[in-house]
Amino acid sequence: MGTLKKITSRLTSGKTDRMRPSQDLVPTTAKQPSSGLMRRLRDLGLKRGAVSLFFRRILKKQSTRSIIEMGRTSISKSRSGISKATEVTGQELSSRAKQTARSIKHHSKPENLNKDYRKLLHLTQEMGYDRAIEKLFFVPAKGFVPLDELTIDSPNRQFGHNYHPIHRLSFNWAMAQIPDQLRDFTFVDYGAGRGRALILAALHPFRKIIGVEFAKELHDDANMNIAQFPRSLMKCRDVDCLLMDAVDFPIPESKGVFLFNDSFDREVLETVLARISSSYRTNPRRMYLIFVRPLNAAVLDSLMERTVIFEPIYHSQSEKIRMQILSPDQVQIFRTLI
Residue 276 and residue 182 share a domain: yes
- CB of 239 within 8 A of CB of 209? yes
- The answer on pLDDT for 313 being more than 80 is yes
- The answer on pLDDT for 270 being more than 50 is yes
Q: What is the C-alpha to C-alpha distance for residues 191 and 237, in angstroms, rounded to an integer?
A: 20
Neighbours of 248 (CB within 10 A): 13
Per-residue pLDDT, 302: 86
- The answer on pLDDT for 208 being more than 50 is yes
Between 320 and 22, the higher pLDDT residue: 320
Between 10 and 308, the higher pLDDT residue: 308
- The answer on pLDDT for 264 being more than 60 is yes
Convert the pLDDT of each residue in 69-95 to its tens digit: 776 776 776 667 666 666 656 666 667
Per-residue pLDDT, 288: 97
- The answer on pLDDT for 27 being more than 50 is no
Convert the pLDDT of each residue in 108-140 to its tens digit: 666 666 667 767 777 777 777 788 888 999 999
- The answer on pLDDT for 312 being more than 70 is yes
Does residue 21 form part of some domain? yes
- Main-chain dihedrals φ then ψ at residue 284, nearest 5 degrees: -60, 130
**pLDDT band at 17; cut points 50, 70, 90:** very low
User: Helix or strand or coil: residue 45?
Assistant: coil
Residue 303 and residue 201 share a domain: yes
- The answer on pLDDT for 143 being more than 50 is yes
Per-residue pLDDT, 257: 97
Residue 269 and residue 211 share a domain: yes
Strands lying side by side in the sheet with 185-190: 239-243, 208-213, 185-190, 255-261, 287-292, 331-336, 310-312
Convert the pLDDT of each residue in 154-176 to its tens digit: 999 999 999 989 999 889 999 98
**pLDDT band at 314; cut points 50, 70, 90:** confident
Residue 278 and residue 143 share a domain: yes
**pLDDT band at 192; cut points 50, 70, 90:** very high
Does residue 281 form part of some domain? yes
Q: What is the C-alpha to C-alpha distance for residues 292 and 333, in angstroms, rounded to an integer?
A: 9
Q: Where would I find the beta strands (DSSP E) of the chain?
A: 185-190, 208-213, 239-243, 255-261, 287-292, 310-312, 331-336
Residue 212 and residue 63 share a domain: no
User: Stretch 90-102: mean pLDDT, rounded?
Assistant: 66
Per-residue pLDDT, 19: 46
Does residue 114 form part of some domain? no
Per-residue pLDDT, 28: 46
- Give me the residues paired with residue 261 across strands: 292
Average pLDDT for the chain: 80
Please tell me what DSSP assigns to residue 251: P
User: Stretch 30-52: mean pLDDT, rounded?
Assistant: 55
Q: What is the C-alpha to C-alpha distance for residues 133 and 144, in angstroms, rounded to an integer?
A: 17
| Owning domain of residue 70 | 2-77
Tell me how many domains the chain contains.
2
CATH code, domain with 141: 3.40.50.150
Q: Which of 77, 105, 138 is the last residue of a domain?
A: 77
The 8 Å CB, 24+ separation contacts for 32-38 are: 37/11
Does residue 72 form part of some domain? yes
Q: What is the C-alpha to C-alpha distance for residues 179 and 333, in angstroms, rounded to an integer?
A: 12
Strand pairing of 310-312 and 331-336? antiparallel
Residue 169 and residue 25 share a domain: no
Q: What is the C-alpha to C-alpha distance for residues 235 and 256, in angstroms, rounded to an integer?
A: 17
Residue 257 and residue 128 share a domain: yes
Per-residue pLDDT, 20: 47
Residue 34 and residue 169 share a domain: no
Between 314 and 312, the higher pLDDT residue: 312
Q: What is the C-alpha to C-alpha distance for residues 67 and 216, in angstroms, rounded to an integer?
A: 79
